[in-house]
Structures are given as C-alpha cells and as structure tokens.
Amino acid sequence: MGRKQGEAVKVVALALTGHLVKPRWNSLGVKLFISYLAIVGIVVLVLLQTADFIAPATFAAQRGRMLGTSMGMGRAGEAGIGRANAANTEALLNQAFRESLNQGLLVAGGVALGVAIAISLFVTWWVIGPVRRLAAATQRIAAGHYAERVPTGAHRHPDELGELAANFNEMARSLEVNEQRRLELVGDVTHELRTPLATLQGYLEGLLDGVIEPDERTWAKLYDEAGRLRRLIDDLQELSRAQAHQIPLKLTSLNPLEIARVAVERVSAQFKEKGLNFSCDLPANLPPVKADLDRAVQVLTNLLVNALRYTPAPGQVKLKLLAISNTVEFRVTDSGIGIGAEHLPHLFERFYRVDKSRSRALGGSGIGLTIARALVEAMGGRIEVSSPGPNLGATFSFFLPEAA
C-alpha cells in the first residue's frame, strides 16, 4: 500500500472510530475497523481463488455433457435444422456456464463463510476476553475483595480496553486504601473511646460498691472524663468533615495581624497562668492573605495551645509572622519538650502522639494537628514542623497564600 493510500485508510479508519482529534493507530476502534477490512478482504480472496479453481473444471464437465447430448440429438434429428441446433447449443452452453458458476460460488461461498466465522470468532474473543475479565473483577470488588486487579497488557500505549483496565485498577486501589483507612479509623476510635469509658466505669463501680467516696473530687473526675469523651467526639466529627472537605470556608482577603490578634487574645491569659514567657513578633507591613478568619484562628490557636501544653514553666513561646514568597508564615516556636526526629513525619497523622500517656493526661486527643493540616490545606496553604530534638523545643509553622 502506497503512502497516500495508507494515509487515506488511516483517515477513514480514524473518522469511523471518532479519533480524528487524537489519531492513534492502536485504538480499539481502528483495530476493529482493520479486522473487518481483513475479514472482507480475506473472504473476497478466498471467494475468487475457490471460484477460479472450481468453476473452470465444473464448466468443462457440464459443457462436455451437454454438447454430447446436443450432438446426439443433431444426428438423430432431421436435416436442415442446423440453425435451430446452433441456437440450442448456445442455450446449453449458457446453462452450463450458469450451473458451473453457481456450483463454484456455492463451494467458494461455503469456504469464505467458514473463514469469516473463524476470523470473527477470533476478533470477538480478542475483544470480549478483557471485557469479561473486567466484569468478573467488578463483581469480586462488589463482593468486598478490594485487592482485585485485572491485567492491563504490556503495551506502552494501551488501547481503550487497556486504559479501561488501568483505570479500573486505579479505582480498585483507591477503594482498597479507603477501606483500609476506614478499618484503621474504626480501630483507632474504638481504642480512644475505651480509655475514658473504662475510667468512668471504674469510678461508677467504685461508687456503687462504696469503695470510692462520693465527694467533690470524684464528681470532678467523672465530669472531666465525660468532657474528654465529648471533646474526642467533637474532634472526630470535625476531622471527618475537614477531610471530606465539608467544612464551609469563607475565603476572604484578611490582614494576618487580625488572625494573630484574635488567637493571641484567646490564649494569652493561660500563658500567664502557667508562668510562661509569651512574646509576639508581628510586623506591620505584611501582605493580606486569602483565608477563612475563624478557621485560620482555630489553627493558630491549636498551635499556641500545643506550645502551652508541651512547654513546662518557666519556658518561652514565641509567635512570629513573616512574608515568604507569596505566602505569610505563622510561626510558633517553643522551648518545650521537643520532638524526636523519628516522630516528626507522623505528627500530622490521626491519633499520633509522641507520648500517649503524657498527651492524654494533658487532655490531648491526638487529632488537633490532623484537623489543622486539613484546614490549612483546604485554604490553599501548608503546615510543617521542625524540632532540634527532645527537650530542645519545637517550631510549628503554617503558610497561607497571599490574597491576589
């Protein structure tokens, strides 16, 4: 096939398969189109070859038989009917030609049909095979077998079925990850709820048995545990909403100093109460940021409360705001208990606590930083942590984008 014809076939094939915009030789449509072309071509070839092979022999046999009969008739007939005889012979020849042609076509048609069926079966198997595998895998996924995958073929440029299989595998992978997260969450939540519940139950049993005095200290302890449970449930609800991007954000252009002012107002009394030195470095010429005031204040308050919680008196906590490449950084540095390098990559994970018992005793749920990260990211920013090591303090920073 010449280059021009090749181009023409390609254009027709692509037009028929709707790929004119993005021409691809190995697309399923082009493959099907070429298969049908091949079937028609091979069938025509087989037809011609078989007819060519069978028709002459059949024609010769028919002609011999019929001419024999006609000559017999001529000898037996009366003289002077030569013209009628010639006409008769021509009619017989025509009939012989038609019969031999029909016979030839019948045999050739049969062979061509057989070949067409064989090729069609192959093409159907070739196309339907992967679709069947996909259908079976979908059923297994629906039955909860999330590890299910289908082969995508080894081609560098897969056809539509290969792409479908790759997309299916991607979907199965994310379903598997989600399922794993769900199981982990249920495990984590169960574990977290069990501790305050066990404490409550222990106190109530003690009260019932008369082992624990029903005094003010006991009621206060019960009240604390119930409060811990409520906080945990509130945090969990907030976390699930934040991670599902269901917290409505009112993103406006804000002065970063406004965010700092509201957060500092909320916590400064607690710093004084604990005997910590709390200082602020708030430059006046910062660019406005695009953020939700309440949520930005929530994140900053969380970082300040953590600094307060994990810095023993007489320690120092510093809030510093600075403009860095189209963002404003809110940096909280403390001189507290610090964080070991091995813990740093996990701090923003749900329920991750460096020292479980200490954090729990201080009222921490281990979800605060996870919520903070989800909120900051929803506002188009990022959050990070660094620490020189245990007992050497820590620095938490979040960056909010400058308002355009």
What are the residues binding ligand ADP (CB under 6 A)?
306-307, 310, 334, 336-337, 339, 347, 352-355, 359, 364-370, 394
The CB-of-333 to ligand ADP minimum distance in angstroms stands at 9
Least Å distance between CB 351 and ligand ADP? 8
Which residue number, 149 or 343, has a Cβ lying nearer to ligand ADP? 343
Provide the minimum distance between the beta carbon of 282 and ligand ADP in the complex, in angstroms, as a whole number.
Answer: 20
> Could you give the count of Cα atoms lying within 13 Å of 379 in the half-sphere of its Cβ?
33
Query: Hey, CA dihedral for 103, 104, 105, 107, is it positive or negative?
Result: positive
- Which helix (H) or strand (E) covers residue 133, if one does? helix 82-142
In the bound state with ligand ADP, the residue whose beta carbon lies nearer, of 50 and 397, is 397
The span from the CA of 381 to the CA of 291, in Å, is: 9
Question: What is the nearest approach in angstroms of ligand ADP to the Cβ of residue 241?
Answer: 16
Q: How far is the CB of 348 from ligand ADP (least distance, A)?
A: 7
Name which of 337 and 375 has its Cβ closer to ligand ADP. Answer: 337
- Cβ proximity to ligand ADP: between 267 and 367 the closer is 367
Q: Which residue is nearest to ligand ADP (CB)?
A: 364
Kindly state the tokens that stand for 280.
């602020």
- The total of other beta-carbon atoms located within 10 Å of residue 209's CB is 8
**Burial (CB count <10 Å: 0-12, 13-18, 19+), residue 146:** middle
User: Which residues, in sequence order, are CB contacts of 150 under 8 Å at separation 6+?
Assistant: 130, 133, 134, 137, 165, 168, 169
The Cα–Cα gap between 237 and 368 comes to: 12
Nearer to ligand ADP, 50 or 302 (CB): 302
Cα 24–Cα 30–Cα 31 angle in degrees, nearest 5: 115
Question: In the complex, what is the shortest distance from the CB of residue 274 to ligand ADP, in angstroms, rounded to a whole number?
Answer: 13
Among residues 305, 319, 321, 323, which one has the least CA distance to residue 371? 305
Pairing of strands 277-281, 382-386: unpaired
Nearest distance from residue 276's CB to ligand ADP, in Å?
Answer: 12
Place of tokens 């003289």: 79
Q: Which is nearer to ligand ADP, 103 or 306 (CB)?
A: 306
For ligand ADP, the closer of residues 33 and 396 by Cβ is 396
Query: What minimum distance in Å lies between the beta carbon of 366 and ligand ADP?
Result: 4
Beta carbon nearer to ligand ADP, 290 or 318 = 318
CA distance 39 to 204: 83
Residue 184: how many CA atoms within 13 Å on its side-chain side? 10
